Chain A
Amino acid sequence: MQICELFTQPNTILLDGGMGTMLQAAGLAAGEKPELLNLTQPQLIESIHAQYVKAGSRIINTNTFGASAKKLAGSGYTVEQVVPAAVANARRACADAGALVALDIGPLGELLEPAGTLTLEQAVAEFARIVRAGAADADLVFLETFTDLYELKAALLAVKENCSLPVLASMSFEPTGRTFTGCTVESFAATARGLGADAIGFNCSLGPAEIYPLAQRLADALPADFPIFVKPNAGLPRADGSGYDIGPQSFALQMKPYRSLGLFAAGGCCGTTPQFIAALNKVFEGCVPGRPEKKAPAQSVLCSPVRCVTVDGVTVVGERINPTGKKRLQQALREGDMDHILALAVQQADAGAAVLDVNVGAPGVNEPDLMEAAVRAIQSVCDLPLQLDSTNPAALERGLRVYNGKPIVNSVNGEQAVLDAILPLCKKYGAAVVGLTLDEHGIPESAEGRFAIAERIRNAALAAGIAPEDVYIDCLTLTASAQQQAVVETLKALHRCKNELGVRTVLGVSNISFGLPCRPFLNTAFFTLAMGAGLDLAIINPSSEEMMAAAAAFDVLTARDKQSVRYIAKYAGYTPVAAAAPAAGQVGGACAGEAVGEYATLINAVRKGLRADTVAAVSTLLQTKQPLQVVDEGLIPALDAVGSGYEKGTLFLPQLLQAAAAAQGAFEVIRDAVAQTGTEQAEKGRIVMATVKGDVHDIGKNIVKVILENYGYRVTDLGKDVPAQAVVEAVQRTGAALVGLSALMTTTLGAMEETIALLHRECPGVAVMVGGAVLTPEYAKTIGADYYAKDAKQAADIAKEYFAR
């Protein structure tokens, strides 16, 4: 078989079976590195490959599953020695029968961010090294046994960027239908296909019977002619651990149902041998790859690893991460303050958004850097798919590269230069795309003019290789107050695009009411009209009750919400928020020991850790007082009272934390107030904080950070696993006078000592305070720290004393 014929075979082809199983049978002990045998016993490896070729395998995977630099470390061999030798062994075994050699690549055995410390780019580099070492003499690349979608993305990028071979992508799932990391079958299908996998399948973990229902879902999630494959284990592990529970004949029997899925290829994984593969010849005799065309049009999906959203009917995109007209967000973006962005993300997710728009294009920021940072930060706390919203191709590429899953890009328009710059990025990273119906001549007034641009955009997207179901058109909402006649043109254009071009549609709905009072009334009416005209993606504020209710009602009235089940679940026994809201600031009272005076309500609320009441009290105070006054005269005395109770042992950590969380809520309101006035918030001192290199335990550091912020210090938080140099750079950049470092484990105290030494050398005059479970005051002194803080309260005391000097 020639490689160019791989995907046009008239029959399901056979892959190979287990390599480890064969090596164990040949005497390999657990703990030995099978990849080294490529060099030490090449005949053994070649003979195993040859047995599979003889059994009927048409694609042979090289013995390179664990041939990464890290896994080979200490073996005395390099990737560049092991991989070419492995490819040569397979090539010799394949030569006579004309079987193809697949460069086999498995996971790195390290956890990627955010759960781990390996960055996407580090993973890409590790995979790239394997690809470069083996691609020259291989026919294709086989990525197998992945359980982390992000790692699979890294591997696919490495393959695509370092060779032009076809690539097969395979993941291992649990019986729950998810991988260890929570990835769904549908997210795997959409993401791997988008990133350019030529065939997608499953291997390992389960036997044929258990994988079958997953394979059905995979087939449903992919086009009828998209090649799919399976390499199951020989059943499940026996209870006594002595191997797998089915033999070649049972394996063949369990593989029979797969004929109905029109597999492109089938083989085996752990526990399977050449006998298992030989038994498959008969099973797949006359089985033609591919499935009948589906009746329904292809669905467009957007996904993160754990959540796959099918855009079928009205889908709410949260609009709030967009700095246009939002001073507080602009300020957060200028300061690189991700906490505010994360709060917006979580609020919108909780309010029912299905997708989040991410626009970080505030004036005076480095948009590419911020887009990458925002995408990584949001995906670490929220599993909704994202809409990357920018006109800056560099920002889009940075966001697309680090995004985990399949996102949507907002936007291109009819301008050729824009299409040329952005569509290839969408294709490379497997994103859906929004096209705005405007071009270098502006926004056409008529529906016809906008339709013509939409058609041009759709054709350009298809020509760039983007699937038709992934093209979305935004016919542009103009404000009713300025261009009243244009409203109906937008709706007309939307209707035509949906029905005549077969594209999905998008509108940023809220713009309709700009400049008019009671905006929700107009927004809701327009939204309802747009839904009637065929709107798919509605970019709205999901916290708006009226809008969410309109979408839910629309689904009832158009019979999408069968038997009104979702509507009833949501609204039965419902009381509108406006009617249910309690009067603000209802707390306090006259019980003994409570604060009195104009700050009494605030102080008591903080002391009791009542966040909603604290926020309400601060909002009331801000009507008559300056933000800093509220901090100094209300919040800090309250926190001091709690801190002193904690020191005396009358209050415990949970009370301290709940008071801090209440103050944290208050600070959100105060920062909003400060941003509205357009002045910089007065600050009591700048502090840089980090969990040191190698340590990923950052809960304690995060607590200290919040408490320092509550006391009015401006904290630059570098996160966890932070190299010494990055701390130094942050100090130099921010001009911070105090640095807080944390380390939880004994193994990372060395990194703390190095960081302190570098700080003292590079930033004379800067003081360092340290904390963490295994530290003591004496040890802190030994490693050169200026202060030791046993807890967050003490850290705040140290800061107060230090900045008072």
Chain B
Amino acid sequence: MESVIFCDRPRAQTLPALELPMEEAARRLGAALPLDAQTAALLQAVTPALQQAAMPRMAWASLPVAALDDTGLLQGTDILRHLNGCTHGVLLAVTLGPQADAAIRRAGVGNVARLAAADAAASALAEAAADAAEAALRAEFAARGLHLTGRYSPGYGDWPLAVQQKFCSLLDTPRLLGVSVSDADLLLPRKSITALLGVSNTPVSGYRAGCAACALRHTCELRKRGNTCADL
């Protein structure tokens, strides 16, 4: 039987209401920038209902890297490189809640443009929620005189999606956030994000696996335009 020693036991908190990052939403919708007025209007039309439906929440916990490794969570080499120089890891999960999924479905009834726009806007909101959660964690750890790497999520590089199940059970996300993992390792509700951040005594940047290891390398629109998601 496994046993895990947490430094910070799993806990949840509500995140403040989020503004829609319009450019990020537009990018996810596949729009060209600068944004044309009609597409901006489309995104603005679907956003209020989404913002009303979303209940952004985060859960997190921290534990020593060695303890993390003992759980079997650190599969592959990329995540280990990300944690290079770190003593601890922070497990983070963020969700907009199931009502956001319902709002996307409703926006899409009979109108495929609104469907895609609501989905893109919700993804951008989830990313904004993760940014807000990360900022809160940075402040928390800075107060302890510690530094954090960026977020590294299951599915990046060679860190398999298959770790989602273990990740969420360690962080107790079904109880703390209502986030569960499907048999195909997908997070539900859909607009949920998990990520691991390294904790270090000295400033750290972490490691980005880069395009070579990415599952989307052949179809990525950003890459076709000569950018990477690290540039955003």
Which residues of A pack against B, CB within 8 Å?
Answer: 29-33, 36, 107, 109-111, 114-117, 145, 147-148, 174, 176, 178-182, 237, 240-242, 306, 339, 342-343, 345-346, 380-383, 608-609, 611, 652-655, 657-658, 660-661, 664-665, 668, 693-697, 699, 702-703, 706-707, 745-748, 751, 773-776, 790
Contacts and interface: CB of A to CB of B under 8 A. Distances in A.
Nearest to A661: B113
Contact of B162 (A115, A702, A747): A747
A664 B111 contact: yes
A668 B195 CA distance: 43
Contacts of A746: 155, 161, 215
Give the one of A114, A655, A657, A697 with max B CB within 10 A.
A657
Contacts of B204: none
Give the one of B26, B38, B119, B175 with max A CB within 10 A.
B175
B178 A342 contact: no
Interface residues of B, number: 66
Interface string B6-25: 10111100100000000000
B113 A660 contact: yes
B2 interface: yes
Nearest to A693: B184
Contact of B39 (A147, A346, A654, A706): A654
Interface of B: 1-6, 8-11, 14, 26, 29-32, 36, 38-39, 42, 53, 55, 57, 61, 71, 97-99, 101-102, 104-106, 108-117, 119, 155, 161-162, 169-170, 174-175, 177-178, 180, 182-186, 188-190, 215-216, 218-219
Given A241-B8, A699-B115, A343 B189 contact: no
A665 B155 CA distance: 38
A697 B30 CA distance: 17
A107 B4 CA distance: 23
A102 to B, nearest CB: 20
A747 B182 CA distance: 11
Contacts of A664: 110-112
B161 A745 contact: yes
Contacts of B26: 654
B55 A182 contact: yes
Nearest to A342: B109
Contacts of A747: 161-162, 184-186
A114 B102 contact: yes
Given A180-B97, A652-B32, A31 B3 contact: yes
Contact of A658 (B38, B170, B180, B216): B38
Contact of B110 (A241, A342, A653): A342
A339 B105 CA distance: 11
B111 A29 contact: no
A655 B102 CA distance: 25
A29 B6 CA distance: 9
B30 A654 contact: yes
B37 to A, nearest CB: 11
A352 B185 CA distance: 40
24 contacts: A29-B3, A29-B4, A30-B4, A31-B4, A31-B170, A110-B182, A114-B101, A180-B55, A241-B10, A339-B109, A342-B110, A611-B111, A654-B39, A658-B38, A658-B42, A660-B112, A665-B110, A665-B111, A694-B186, A699-B104, A745-B161, A748-B184, A774-B216, A776-B218
A144 to B, nearest CB: 12
A702 B188 contact: no
Give the one of B3, B53, B71 with max A CB within 10 A.
B3
Contacts of A608: 38
Contacts of A345: 109
Contacts of A751: 184
A473 B153 CA distance: 57
Nearest to A110: B180
A661 B112 contact: yes
Contact of A32 (B1, B98, B155): B1
A343 B2 CA distance: 51
A114 B105 contact: yes
Nearest to B100: A115
A140 to B, nearest CB: 23
Contacts of B183: 117, 694
A32 B2 contact: yes
A772 B98 CA distance: 23
Contacts of A774: 215-216, 219
A683 to B, nearest CB: 20
B38 A109 contact: no
Nearest to A779: B218
Given A111-B182, A182-B98, A790-B219, 12 more contacts: A32-B3, A109-B174, A110-B180, A148-B178, A174-B55, A241-B8, A339-B109, A653-B29, A654-B31, A654-B116, A658-B38, A774-B215
- 8 closest A-B pairs by beta carbon, nearest first, are A653-B30, A694-B184, A29-B3, A180-B178, A661-B113, A115-B98, A657-B113, A654-B39
A200 B89 CA distance: 41
B117 A654 contact: yes
Contacts of B30: 652-654
Contacts of A745: 161, 184-186
Contacts of A31: 2-4, 71, 169-170
B102 A383 contact: yes
A184 to B, nearest CB: 12
Contact of A381 (B14, B38, B105): B105
A115 B101 contact: yes
B180 A702 contact: no
B109 A381 contact: yes
